[in-house]
């Protein structure tokens, strides 16, 4: 090691930075590919320190899971005007805020999606979302023109940040631009919400939801109906036999 070499001091801890009134440095995450695996949660490193020194291969830290958002789609959404049909609420103010999904049709009659942000709102706030016109557009998902791609994801300044791909049951998002951690969290959550919309708005899903909303027929009603049909059948059989004689 060169004794004359100069080394930069490490940055101060977050607590000291906050106490001095300075904002901590913004961490930008590099491009990555997200693949749907049944759930969405951020896996954070657990910087655990063992009580006693151990060999590196013996040191194990369990991953920590941080709950970020609640994804919601009310069962009676089509009859309500007080809340959006598909939306996301934040667990705390460390995320961007509450987001609801807007939809529209493109000139080619294909569905477009818009993620509308109510900044720093959380699941405990009332109302959950800003008034109409006050929410800002966070992302827009537009149908892709390239073969093999489903949607292009564009942020508010018009730059493309991700491409959604997938065929059959595979769903994948390729994030092509560096972004902050909270922005990537929001993008991943909105993507999950969009996939939920596409699944729940199919004809089969709507038919199944309607069937679930129909009141079940009780066994008593079934039995009365069976007896009534049986009685009518008996009369028809008796009358038919008499007419045939």
Give, for 188, the enclosing helix (H) or strand (E). Answer: helix 181-200
Distances (CA, A) of 180 to 22, 25, 151, 161: 18, 11, 21, 12
What was the pLDDT predicted at 209? 76
Give the dihedral of Cα atoms 78, 84, 90, 95; nearest 10 deg. 140
DSSP 208: H
Do the Cβ atoms of 33 and 175 come closer than 8 Å? yes
What was the pLDDT predicted at 217? 58
pTM of the predicted model over 0.85: no
Distance CA 195, CA 40 (A): 12
What was the pLDDT predicted at 207? 82
DSSP 202: S
What was the pLDDT predicted at 109? 79
What was the pLDDT predicted at 64? 67
Distance CA 237, CA 134 (A): 72
> How confident is the chain (245 residues) per 10-residue block, as mean pLDDT?
43 46 62 70 48 53 78 88 94 94 87 96 95 92 85 94 83 91 94 93 83 64 48 42 45
Token pair 């509308």 in the structure block, residue: 116
pLDDT in tens, 151-207: 999 998 999 999 998 776 788 999 999 999 999 999 999 999 999 999 999 888 888
What was the pLDDT predicted at 234? 41
What was the pLDDT predicted at 10? 45
What was the pLDDT predicted at 133? 81
Token pair 């590919």 in the structure block, residue: 33
What was the pLDDT predicted at 159? 94
Q: Checking DSSP bridges between strand 179-180 and strand 28-29, what pairing results, if any?
A: antiparallel
């Amino acid at each position: 090691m060169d004794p004359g070499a100069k080394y930069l001091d490490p940055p101060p801890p977050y607590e000291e930075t906050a106490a001095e009134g300075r904002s901590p440095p913004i961490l930008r995450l590099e491009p990555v590919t997200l693949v749907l695996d049944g759930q969405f949660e951020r896996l954070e490193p657990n910087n655990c320190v063992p009580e006693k020194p151990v060999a590196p291969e013996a040191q194990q830290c369990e991953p920590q899971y941080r709950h970020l958002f609640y994804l919601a789609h009310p069962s009676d959404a089509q009859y309500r005007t007080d809340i959006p049909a598909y939306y996301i609420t934040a667990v705390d103010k460390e995320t961007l805020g509450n987001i609801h999904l807007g939809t529209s049709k493109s000139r080619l009659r294909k569905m477009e999606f818009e993620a509308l942000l109510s900044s720093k709102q959380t699941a405990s706030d009332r109302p959950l979302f800003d008034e109409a016109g006050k929410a800002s557009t966070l992302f827009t998902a537009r149908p892709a023109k390239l073969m093999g791609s489903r949607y292009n994801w564009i942020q508010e300044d018009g730059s493309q940040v991700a491409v959604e791909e997938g065929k059959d049951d595979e769903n994948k998002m390729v994030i092509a631009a560096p972004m902050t951690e909270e922005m990537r969290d929001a993008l991943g959550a909105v993507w999950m919400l969009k996939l939920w919309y596409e699944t729940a708005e199919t004809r089969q899903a709507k038919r199944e939801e309607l069937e679930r909303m129909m009141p079940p027929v009780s066994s008593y009603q079934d039995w009365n109906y069976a007896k009534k049909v049986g009685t009518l059948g008996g009369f028809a059989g008796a009358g038919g036999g008499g007419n045939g004689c």
